[in-house]
Amino acid sequence: MNIVISGYGKMGKIIEKKAQERGHFITATVDPIEPEASNKNLSEEILENTDIVIDFSIPQTAMENAEKVCLAGKKLVMGTTGWYDNMSVMQKLASKDGSAIIWSGNFSLGVNIFFAIVAKTSQIMNSFSEYDPFIHEFHHNKKADSPSGTAVMIGDIVLNEIDRKTVIISKELKRQINPEELHISSTRGGSIPGTHILTFDSPVDTIELKHTARGREGFASGAVSAGEWIMDKNGFFSINDMMQDIIKGWSSTS
């Protein structure tokens, strides 16, 4: 594949390395502030010479980049988070001739295996009302959004599988939480690549599911794999669509 990397920070550089290791070509790197990037902005000229754009930029430019890619009839791997209020707009963009979008709050293969474990565990816990679920996540002090896209995806899975939980609360609580609310809390500090913990707590014991990333390599490899998967497709996809090809019976809400 001929790949443009949009967002040439730490993640973009690792994506470049992983893509080249798999025999792909980087035709441009785009970043308005990174001096090592080949271009400041994503342009029509850049898109003419590429097959796919892998976007790990910032929420403020995600929709603009998606529009440029889809109007050019190219493929897009959207790893940027924080744009989810515009999901319907993104779906319409992906319907344009020749274009396709695959998105995820987290492209790590390990995290998506974790999602499958969360789904199965939540199905079991639906029958045990004494266990109250909640989510906490840790990330580095440079992360632009809170809670993380991955934490929200975990929350969506829990809501999909546990009938007694119907709404996610991610803001600071200055009151008692309601029984139907699922609380997601966040910590930002240091250089933590990402840790997510789903807890089921009862009066007598606690059950925890935890995923800890050791670095960004897993996210980068997953993003390149998603690009390979979407090359012959048209339309709007989440990482779940790709995982369904790998894990028999895997399905979830995201």
Answer whether 192's CB lies under 8 Å from 140's CB: yes
Q: Is the peptide bond before 147 cis (omega within 30 degrees of 0)?
A: yes
DSSP class per residue in 136-198: EEEE-TT--SSS-HHHHHHHHHHHHH-TT--EEE-SPP-SPPPTTEEEEEEEE-TT---EEEE
Tell me how crowded residue 107 is: count the other CB atoms within 10 A of its CB: 28
Q: Which amino acid is at 12?
A: G
Q: Which amino acid is at 188?
A: R
What's the distance, CA 101 to chain centroid?
13
Residues with catalytic annotation? 139, 143
